[in-house]
Amino acid sequence: MRRAMIPSTFSRAALIALAAVFATGASCARDAAPAAGAMRDADVLTIESSGKEYRFKVELARNDEERSQGLMFRTELAEDAGMLFDFGPAPRPVSMWMKNTLIPLDMAFIAEGGRIARIAAMTTPRSLTSIPSGEDVVAVLEVRGGRLAELGVREGDIIRHPWFAR
């Protein structure tokens, strides 16, 4: 008859400690990116287009760390949500990419004064292709893919937010 081996007290303690380490690591990994629909430091901006106004609740990406995280690993984005990336105060050429971004996005490249300089619509998820601003800009707005076309937002429309009143 075979007997089941019962681990010693030391082995049990080691297994419990190891399980705790893995549970903590998994918990930290989950927290690395906000859950779908979760908002980090949020603000409201308005897009003025064809005499209409559209409001979006946007997360703010103000520094290199926040800009490089962007909307990566999100599986959904509400129709009135997005992220506003600060590249100011001095206008400059900007390029974005979709690495680790799981959903299509619309990108509005924003020049001084809040003017939409370029729209890159329905960008390709997980693509490493660079998406250039086409001219000097101070910010980029990312929203759910196709949303800007749904609203009729075009290049030349104005985005109102305190960043563009600097």
Query: pTM for the full model?
Result: 0.76
Same domain, 63 and 84: yes
- Residue keyed to tokens 């399980």: 19
Domain assignment of residue 31, given as a range: 7-35
Same domain, 104 and 155: yes
Angle (CA) 60 133 84, round 5°: 10
Same domain, 53 and 116: yes
* Token couple for 163: 């960043």
Residue 83 located in a structural domain: yes
Same domain, 55 and 86: yes
Cα Rg for the chain, rounded, in angstroms? 22
Q: Is the dihedral of CA 154, 157, 159, 164 positive or negative?
A: positive
pLDDT in tens, 75-131: 999 999 999 999 999 999 999 999 999 999 999 999 999 999 999 999 999 999 999
Same domain, 73 and 100: yes
Residue 2 located in a structural domain: no
* Token couple for 166: 């600097």
Same domain, 120 and 79: yes
Mean pLDDT of the chain: 83
Same domain, 79 and 99: yes
Same domain, 29 and 102: no
The number of distinct structural domains making up the chain is: 2
Give burial (CB, 10 Å; 0-12/13-18/19+) of 56: buried
